[in-house]
Copies of this chain bind each other. A is one copy, B any other.
Amino acid sequence: MNTPFFKQLTILGVGLIGGSVALALKQAGQVSQVTGAGRNLNTLAEAIKLGAIDQATTMEEAVSTADVVVLATPVGQFPRIMQAIVPHLKPDAVITDVGSTKSDVAAAAREHMGKHLPRFVPAHPIAGAEKSGVSAARADLFLGKHVVLTPLPETSPDAIDIVERLWQTCGAKVSQMTPLMHDQVFAAVSHLPHLLAFALVAELDNRSNAEQLFGYAAGGFRDFTRIAASSPEMWRDISLANKQPLLKELKAYQDQIAYLAAILEQGDGVALEMLFQRASIARNNWNKSSGN
């Protein structure tokens, strides 16, 4: 067996994503030692038991020997964690994250990473929203999934290469965008649908006949609203962090619904069928091309 590429990996926040990164690199034989840190000691004990991490310690100690540090806590904790770890990082350590929004993470890094800023590579793996916690971690979670890197102008090319290699070793398809482009794309294809699903369920739940309505809801409703069961706290943070692109998406969608209501009001069956057909064809094509 070849020598593992990654010597000392440190995961801060060992949940579904952090745990799965560790398991994937271990299964590939590409990491020598994984150290975990986080606020919940039970989680860390479980992560050791599951073989995701080899040991657990404090954040400061965990990063002091790390070649690569993965920030996998909720994004809201990043500024505080960056401040805490910066004094303890090795000079050439590479730091990356797994947050769902990137402009805010880039801004936090610029503010708090100090001389380590060129070694910080913001990243977003597109996987695993339904479950959470290290008990759901899997070595194949990222297999065939997208991971978007959003390096800054200052980011060092060799740090980008190392993070790209980490995700490729996990089986992911790695691409790059600017943080803003990333946030605009995911406002459209992820954040907007979540808000729309939350909005529908909350609106129906607020009615006097909510019980009757939910009683007759079936398969279409089930799929459409599945993401409305997502974490309210996480989606509050994502919404606020990605406020401007998301407001722009909401506006575009409001315009589309206003158009749809207008052609329905006019009884314009041709226009309705054209809109439905455009959607149906695009959705069927996406289904074939994405394997989703």
The DSSP consensus for interface residues of chain A is helix
Contact B232 A213 (CB under 8 A): no
Contact A201 B232 (CB under 8 A): no
A-B contact pairs, 6 of them (CB 8 A): A194-B220, A217-B290, A223-B223, A226-B283, A236-B273, A236-B276
Interface string of A260-292 (1 = CB under 8 A from B): 110011010100110111111011101101101
A side interface size, CB within 8 A:
88
Does A1 have its Cβ within 8 Å of any Cβ on chain B?
no
Contact A199 B275 (CB under 8 A): yes
Given contacts A190-B221, A216-B189, contact A200 B196 (CB under 8 A): yes
Contact A224 B221 (CB under 8 A): no
Select one of B203, B205, B273, B279 contacting A197, CB under 8 A. B279
Interface string of A206-218 (1 = CB under 8 A from B): 1001101111111
Given contacts A216-B185, A218-B127, contact A225 B257 (CB under 8 A): no
